[in-house]
Structure 1
Amino acid sequence: MRSLGNIRRSFAPWSDPNAKAMISIRNVTKRFGDFTAVDNLSLDIYEREFFALLGASGCGKSTLLRMLAGFETPNEGAILLDGVDLTGVPPYRRPLNMMFQSYALFPHMTVADNVGFGLKQEKMAKPAIAERVAQMLKLVKMSEFAGRKPHQLSGGQRQRVALARALAKQPKVLLLDEPLGALDKKLREETQFELTDLQYDLGLTFVVVTHDQEEAMTMADRIAVMDAGQIRQVATPAEVYEAPNSRFVADFIGSINLFDGEVTRSDAALTKLQSPEGFALRMVDGQSRSIGSRLTLGLRPEKIAVTHTKPDSGVNAVEGEVWDLAYLGDMSIFHVKLDSGKIIKASVVNASRSGSEVFTYHDRVWLSFAEDAGVVLER
């Protein structure tokens, strides 16, 4: 089956019915008083997978990560690692490690001592500790900073030290709680790719918690979109973006235009909707719909063309007025107000320095899109 979007590597154990999950979360519920943080949640994560738990603040993603680490205990359900139930196993006995958002480095220790702290606690021999610390610092390109204290490092350097310390004990699973939140935008983008390369080279399983959609889509093999303690969709980044399973996921991941409409024609190849805005929408659907039923078409801004003149085909085209616009260098963002009052967002890549068409406020423009550009959302 052809994948949606580009893929970083040919790795998809979740599509193999015979593959065994490394981490199996079974009907887990966690309550804090009357508040249910995680609600009857089940999830499988596979060995060597880079998995992201994505959601807004308070959705339960950090609570789930803390239960994996052993810092919280489920009220119901079980968490298994390689088939072994982790119930009652303390954090320091679990073959995993956690990297916190704050990094939690010891300010009075050198970089080398921070990285080797966990190994010292396990009473590893000093020569072995020194060798492992050297390996980890080389891995994260921090060897020359071994003798410095945390306050003598930049935010990005402290992040690397925390990562080296988390990896020093060679865990089966590395848990990362908003690991890049303290970094500036440019450094965060660079570190995202470094983390994915490192995870691939080490062959470890990474589970990251983040509220940053771009971060999750850049790093993860699969994403679990969470809301109110439940998982709304688990899929690859491209599938979550291009084929969301609900209005919630479609609206949460990226930007999207939603068109509600009534089915006026439908067969296995094409569905036609009449929108309240007064124009018809034709879309490739893949299944027959009942005439008169109501559906929602989700349409990403980059799928929409913006022109001064009406497209020759006239299909999926509607006229409006440029209500707002922004030039971002690599692309231009348009907010176009239809005659009905509905605002449509479109984005156009600035492929040419001069641009083939120039738009300004209050221009009358045409928006159009292909029949297979949108996704049908039933819930």
Structure 2
Amino acid sequence: MVGPAIGPIRRSFAPWNDPGVKPFIEFRHVTKRFGEFVAVDDLSLQIYEREFFALLGPSGCGKTTLMRMLGGFDEPTDGQVLLDGQDLGGIPPYRRPTNMMFQSYALFPHMSVWDNIAFGLRQDGTPKAEIKARVEEMLALVKLEKFARRKPQQLSGGQRQRVALARSLAKKPKVLLLDEPLGALDKKLREETQFELTDLQMKLGMTFLIVTHDQEEAMTVADRIAVMDQGRIVQVATPAEIYEQPNSRYVADFIGDINILEGHLAPAPPGSTRLECAATGANVEVRQETAAPTGGQAWFAIRPEKVRISLDAPTDPSVNAVRGEVWDIGYLGDVSIYHVRLSTGATLKATITNATRLVERPITWEDKVWLTWSHDAGVILTR
């Protein structure tokens, strides 16, 4: 029997939009210092029960430190960390209703898969019958029943990852903390495992918090993403909002590929923003209002897949249009990325989906082309 599709469940799950729902995890003005270095700087964040939440950012931005404070491996210098209304200050890791799956998996090499999963339960003095039932349940959950008596070194990377996941879940924590859990897997297996993680999280109805620097991973698994930089949160939103409506150049540039053009705000009709853009040699008009004053500095950001490329001049006068020359082409299999040099010297990227087998490229190097985009294809950023 095929179970219900996750998509509809995901779309209806948005407790952060309901003022009547209390957060399950709260960071209240949390600061963490290591000597003079500030790893987390006066950060506040709310995460909801059953949410798959991602902390995303470059190395050293504070995301792992934030997770470690929730798990009890580090204590805040200032502020509070609360779980289900309880202040976790001073509570050691082994007494918190959380469990962490480390990037290295940290499996015991001398123990079998079965014993690795049972380890935490034995440490807690769980009755043998309950341990047996729980381990068998976890093995079935991660589809490793046939590998129960093998040692970790006899398993593939993906199988070891599943053992570590099963061990983390065996004690039924309220929150599962995932620290770069898929970093050791190859690209194809990592992509497959991302969907397995979301299926598992939905099936268990648990709260997952994942730390990653992989934007595609965060976009795939998370209900919401917090983008971090230098110990602070820059934006918290759903993957679609983060991608389509970034609130700053930092977020726009960090998530996916993007063109960012600098300019100054010019007078525009109501409901629109016009940018005098030296890079394009023309004004760029966007169907978006901004509170920034006329003449102020701003940036236009547009994803390459929203830029159309053509050998023919546009016939629709309502679109934004610039002319240039194909400078470089990147063939990635599913898409081709065109780098187009404008007469101003600026370069814009446009993406074409390779919907048919590549026999003859209609647009090639040194071709004179037109780039066009609609008024709602990009966003104006003022910071």
Q: Which category describes the TM-score, using the shorter chain as reference length? A: over 0.9
> Within the alignment, does 1:318 sit opposite 2:322 as a pair?
yes
In the TM superposition, 1:67-146 aligns within 5 A as 67-146=69-148
Match of 1:359 in 2: 363
Match of 1:292 in 2: 295
Greater mean alpha carbon deviation, residues 344-353 or residues 324-333: 344-353
Counterparts of 1:65 and 1:378, CA distance in 2: 31
| Cα gap change, 1:210 to 1:288, in 2 (>3 Å) | closer
> Within the alignment, does 1:251 sit opposite 2:283 as a pair?
no
Per-residue CA shift, 1:199-235, capped at 9, x if unaligned? 0000000000000000000000000000000000000
The AA in structure 1 aligned to 2:161 is Q
> Secondary structure at the residue paired with 1:215?
helix
Give 2:283's match in structure 1, choosing from 261, 280, 289.
280
> Secondary structure at the residue paired with 1:9?
helix
Runs of 4+ with deviation above 4 angstroms: 354-357
Counterparts of 2:73 and 2:103, CA distance in 1: 15
> Within the alignment, does 1:208 sit opposite 2:207 as a pair?
no
Displacement of 1:197 in angstroms is 0.3
The AA in structure 2 aligned to 1:33 is G
> Secondary structure at the residue paired with 1:80?
strand
Displacement of 1:295 in angstroms is 2.0
> Within the alignment, does 1:335 sit opposite 2:339 as a pair?
yes
Per-residue CA shift, 1:157-180, capped at 9, x if unaligned? 000000000000000000000000
Give 1:156's match in structure 2, choosing from 140, 151, 158.
158
**Are the equivalent residues in 1 in contact too, given 2:270–2:289 (CA < 8 A)?**
yes
**Are the equivalent residues in 2 in contact too, given 1:65–1:209 (CA < 8 A)?**
yes
Counterparts of 1:190 and 1:367, CA distance in 2: 35
Counterparts of 2:373 and 2:20, CA distance in 1: 41
Match of 1:306 in 2: 309
**Are the equivalent residues in 2 in contact too, given 1:266–1:288 (CA < 8 A)?**
no
Counterparts of 1:148 and 1:338, CA distance in 2: 60
| Cα gap change, 1:288 to 1:146, in 2 (>3 Å) | closer
Name the Cα RMSD after superposition. Answer: 1.6
> Secondary structure at the residue paired with 1:40?
strand
Counterparts of 1:94 and 1:287, CA distance in 2: 45
Counterparts of 1:51 and 1:25, CA distance in 2: 14
| Cα gap change, 1:57 to 1:17, in 2 (>3 Å) | same
> Secondary structure at the residue paired with 2:370?
strand
Displacement of 1:354 in angstroms is 5.2
Displacement of 1:326 in angstroms is 1.3
TM-score by length of 1: 0.96
Query: Could you tell me the percent identity over the aligned residues?
Result: 63
**Are the equivalent residues in 2 in contact too, given 1:268–1:288 (CA < 8 A)?**
no
Counterparts of 2:261 and 2:52, CA distance in 1: 34
| Cα gap change, 1:106 to 1:250, in 2 (>3 Å) | same
Displacement of 1:355 in angstroms is 7.9
Displacement of 1:353 in angstroms is 2.9
Displacement of 1:255 in angstroms is 1.2
Counterparts of 1:194 and 1:244, CA distance in 2: 28
**What stretches of structure 1 of length at least 5 have no aligned partner?**
none
Displacement of 1:288 in angstroms is 6.6
Match of 2:190 in 1: 188
Greater mean alpha carbon deviation, residues 348-357 or residues 181-190: 348-357
Counterparts of 1:8 and 1:308, CA distance in 2: 41
TM-score by length of 2: 0.95
> Secondary structure at the residue paired with 1:266?
coil
Displacement of 1:269 in angstroms is 2.0
The AA in structure 2 aligned to 1:271 is T
Greater mean alpha carbon deviation, residues 5-14 or residues 188-197: 5-14
Counterparts of 2:223 and 2:9, CA distance in 1: 9
Greater mean alpha carbon deviation, residues 45-54 or residues 252-261: 252-261
Match of 1:263 in 2: 265
**What stretches of structure 2 of length at least 5 have no aligned partner?**
1-6
Per-residue CA shift, 1:230-276, capped at 9, x if unaligned? 00000000000000011111111111111222233223222222211
Counterparts of 1:102 and 1:161, CA distance in 2: 12
**Are the equivalent residues in 1 in contact too, given 2:292–2:382 (CA < 8 A)?**
no
Displacement of 1:286 in angstroms is 3.3
Counterparts of 1:357 and 1:16, CA distance in 2: 50
Displacement of 1:6 in angstroms is 9.8
Counterparts of 1:215 and 1:311, CA distance in 2: 37
Displacement of 1:292 in angstroms is 2.5
Match of 1:174 in 2: 176
